[in-house]
Amino acid sequence: MTAQARPRLRRSARTRQAAPIAGALSWLYALILALPLYYLVVSALKTNIEIFTRPFHLPSLWLWDNFSTAWTQASLGKALANTALICLVAITVTLVLAVPASYALARSDTKVARAITGAFSAGFLIPPFAALIPTVILAIHLGLFYTREFQMLFLPASALPLSVLLLTQFMRTVPSELVEAAAMDGVGQFRTLVHIFLPIAMPGVVTVTILQLLTFWNEYLFSLTITGTAPDVRTVQVALPTLISDSTNYGVLAAGTVLTVLPVYLVYTVMSRRMQEALTAGAVKG
């Protein structure tokens, strides 16, 4: 009882200064956010004519066919599989590269270590988009243009700066006694990393995984130009806009859009707290 009463008491102290204008404005903005999303969902179940004539009404006839049409027309199944595969490999590569690097940076405080950290920080602030065209040329030279493989190699690189910086912070929380004890026992660097640092930094690994999963899943421009638009290799983000040009059927387009965001929202409802934490920690949006 008391345990429940206490946070409530605190809350009332915080909100003592009621703010009717702030409250109203915050709901107005929420409405502006929600309306397009609502429009999307109801449109997904309507015919073109009904979307035009009664944009915000519930569908008079629930047109579930739109979903199957979108699914086949944009071959979303294949696209989802492609995206999932790219994400899986890219996340694995990111972790394999970032975990040892952050371990080293957490354990070393030399000038070189600080220079490396500085390089990754700078990389974090320069969006890779700046170098889109040279990246395409690199893909061509590696013989990996219009393949999923290049994206699997490239995405980890774009994720490295943030992943290394975040993981280093987590690695620094390892108590020094543990490290000293391990050193005394003559445990090597690799085993120290795997058996001491990795378990303690696990929340960081989860954070980085969620954060980069979302970024990789939502990546558009690089997928479009490097992986390309061929149905065999294209990602779901590239497949979706083809519905714009394939047809002017808004219902089908909306249904495809719903299908594309659904996996993200499903994951979000299951682990919303973790995702919020991850994205807040990263302060980066897809």
Partner 1 sequence: MSSPLSTAPPPAPVTTPDQPPRRVRRGPRSARVLWFTVPALAWFVVFLVGPLAAMFVIATLRWKGLIYEPTFVGFENVTRVLADPVFLAAIRNSAIQVGIAVPVMIPLAYMLGYHLYTKPRGYRLLSVLYFSPGLISISVTATIFYGVLSPNGGVNGLLSLVGLDSLVTPWLADPSTALATLIFIDLWRGVGWTAVLMAARLSSIPGEVLEAAQVDGASRTRVMWQIAFPMVKSYVSTLTMLQFLWTLFTSAALILLLTKGGPGNSTTTLSYLVYAKAFSQQDLGYSQVVGVALLVVGIAGMFLIRALLRSDLEDER
Touching partner 1, residues 121-180 (CB under 8 A): 121-138, 140, 153-154, 156-158, 160-161, 164-166, 169-176, 179-180
Positions 85 through 104 that interact with partner 1 (CB under 8 A)? 96-98, 100-101, 103-104
Positions 252 through 271 that interact with partner 1 (CB under 8 A)? 253-254, 256-257, 260-261, 264-265, 268
In degrees, to the nearest 5, what angle opens at C-alpha 26 toward C-alphas 24 and 30? 115
Looking at beta carbons only, is 85 or 104 nearer to partner 1? 104
CB of 73 to partner 1, least distance (A): 14
Give the Cα separation of 185 and 148 in Å (integer): 45
CB of 221 to partner 1, least distance (A): 5
Binding range to partner 1, per CB under 8 A, among 58-66, 84-92, 226-234, 240-248: 240-248
With contacts defined by CB under 8 A, how many residues of the chain interact with partner 1?
128
For the purposes of burial, counting CB atoms within 10 Å of the CB of 71, is it exposed (0-12), middle (13-18) or buried (19 or more)? middle
Binding range to partner 1, per CB under 8 A, among 60-68, 84-92, 218-226: 218-226
CB of 107 to partner 1, least distance (A): 5
Q: Report which of 50, 54, 83, 84 is spatially closest to residue 66, judged by C-alpha positions.
A: 50
In degrees, to the nearest 5, what angle opens at C-alpha 286 toward C-alphas 248 and 218? 50
| 218 to 134, 211, 224: CA distances (angstroms) | 22, 11, 12
Q: Does 11 bind partner 1 (CB under 8 A)?
A: yes
CB of 198 to partner 1, least distance (A): 13
Q: Does 22 bind partner 1 (CB under 8 A)?
A: yes
CB of 164 to partner 1, least distance (A): 6
For the purposes of burial, counting CB atoms within 10 Å of the CB of 70, is it exposed (0-12), middle (13-18) or buried (19 or more)? buried
For the purposes of burial, counting CB atoms within 10 Å of the CB of 209, is it exposed (0-12), middle (13-18) or buried (19 or more)? middle
Q: Does 250 bind partner 1 (CB under 8 A)?
A: yes
CB of 176 to partner 1, least distance (A): 4
Instruction: Fill in the DSSP letter of residue 75.
Output: T
Number of neighbouring beta carbons within 10 Å of residue 44: 25
Among 55, 195, 230, 232, binds partner 1 (CB under 8 A): 55
